[in-house]
Amino acid sequence: MERKLSWEMPTTYVDENPIPPEKIAQIKIHVFKDGTETYVTLPGNTEWPVEVGAPGATSSWEAQAELDGMLSAKSTPLAYQEPFLQPMSPGSLAIR
Q: What is the pLDDT along the chain (96 residues), one digit of tens a residue?
A: 789 999 999 999 999 999 999 999 999 999 999 999 999 999 999 999 999 888 888 999 999 999 999 999 999 999 999 887 777 788 888 778
Residue type, 90: P
Domain locations in the chain? 2-81
**What is the predicted pLDDT for the residue at 42?**
96
CB-based contacts of 80, cutoff 8 Å, min separation 6: 3, 52, 58, 59, 60, 61
**What is the predicted pLDDT for the residue at 35?**
96
CATH 3.90.550.10 fits 2-81, yes or no: no
**What is the predicted pLDDT for the residue at 55?**
87
**What is the predicted pLDDT for the residue at 56?**
86
Q: How far lies 54's CA from each of 38, 59, 80, 86, 89, in Å?
A: 17, 10, 12, 13, 22
Q: For the whole model, what pTM was predicted?
A: 0.84
Q: How far lies 67's CA from each of 28, 58, 83, 87, in Å?
A: 7, 30, 35, 45
Q: In DSSP terms, which residues pair with 39 in a beta bridge?
A: 31
